[in-house]
Amino acid sequence: MHAITMREPGGPEVLAWTEVPDPEPGPGQVVIDVAASAVNRADLLQRQGFYPPPPGASDIIGLECSGRIAAVGDGVSTWAVGDEVCALLAGGGYAEKVAVPAGQVLPKPPGWDLIDAGGLPEVPGYEFFAYYESALEVSGDSYDFFPLSGGRLAVTLGDVAGKGIAAAILMALFSAEVRGCLLTETDPAAAVSRLNAGMHERGLTDRFVTLAATVVDPTHHTVTLVNAGHPSPLLLRRASGRLEEACPKEVAGLPIGVLDGCEYSACQITLEPGDTLVMFSDGVPDAMNVQEAPFGAGGIEQAVTGGTFTARGLGNRLVQAVKQHAAGRSQFDDITLVAFGRLLQS
């Protein structure tokens, strides 16, 4: 394969397109055929010699990538060859292939192409996790990450009532509207109110849509959240080790498309080091076991209470708990889960 390597620290002229050995997946790793990578400040600093790679990491630059799984190592059961993914890397993204621990790989967000997915958000002092599994071949769930003005980041998760092609088509239209409203309205509550009005104006109300929309301000470590009929996002406070609802129930509004003219409210929380917020579709609490019992709020709380988790650790713990609960039964609903939080050293 080929990679962009650097002869020595310096300017862009030290970079060269070079033939290098293909990576092989070690235990717990996957190899990704890279479709796109991103350029960020850490890459520039590494090229200039100010940001050495961590011990054991590739000396090839590149901390994010997107692409397709080309090979899986021993012990990897969550990914298969051909899966479209994006990943956070310790290095190696500026290459045609890269080996990466499976736990650092995320599914490509629905509605994103592989080029856009190469710019998965990397926010200093924060960690992000996403999981998506459709009950059918197409889904009415969708999550998204996209940058806003002032260094803020939008993180959204929506769920169209119903499943199948009709739900997936509506979600594709809805996702584009969510982006448009949050990019052009500085107030997240006003953006969601405008989103609801726009869906009514366009006659897209034959199915309602639930939405959790958050805006992360990593400078002030605040999260502004608007809930339109969605399962309540949960906050895991490191200080107490307990889950709590991120916002009061009275702040939650109706699902999008239910009532024309509905005005939505927002709440704001501050993330302390080690705090993590998790959002999920109703496929998580509604997951049924062979005795027809749902996973429920109790299953969520039992899975994580008392533990200390990063966003990735919390997300993986919940996904594993849901799968264990539903073992032996076919998947009942789309399952989507997004988590993000402050790292302890931030």
Same structural domain, 235 and 295: yes
Angle at 32 between CA 62 and CA 30, to 5 degrees: 110
pLDDT of residue 126: 86
Same structural domain, 150 and 178: yes
pLDDT of residue 113: 83
CATH number where 57 lies: 3.90.180.10
pLDDT of residue 111: 66
Same structural domain, 112 and 154: no
Same structural domain, 70 and 152: no
pLDDT of residue 74: 95
Among the candidates 61, 88, 120, a domain finishes at 120
Pick the closest to residue 33 from 96, 83, 79 (CA basis).
96
pLDDT along the chain (346 residues), means of 10: 93 93 94 90 75 75 92 92 88 94 79 78 79 74 82 90 78 86 94 95 87 95 97 93 90 94 96 96 91 92 83 90 90 87 80
Provide the domain limits for residue 271. 124-346
Same structural domain, 225 and 269: yes
Residue type, 102: A
Same structural domain, 129 and 113: no
* Separation between Cα atoms, residue 151 and residue 185, nearest integer Å: 15
CATH number where 249 lies: 3.60.40.10
Q: How many domains does the chain have?
A: 2
Residue 149's SS3 state is: helix
pLDDT of residue 54: 64
Among the candidates 120, 146, 173, a domain finishes at 120
Same structural domain, 136 and 261: yes
pLDDT of residue 125: 81
Among the candidates 120, 146, 161, a domain finishes at 120
Instruction: Say if CB 131 and CB 109 are below 8 A apart.
Output: no
Same structural domain, 337 and 242: yes
pTM: 0.71
Same structural domain, 77 and 196: no
Report the Cα 93 to chain-centroid distance in Å.
19
Instruction: Say if CB 250 and CB 208 are below 8 A apart.
Output: no
Same structural domain, 161 and 192: yes
* Separation between Cα atoms, residue 169 and residue 88, nearest integer Å: 29
Same structural domain, 131 and 150: yes
Same structural domain, 77 and 193: no
Angle at 65 between CA 186 and CA 72, to 5 degrees: 135
Residue 254's SS3 state is: coil
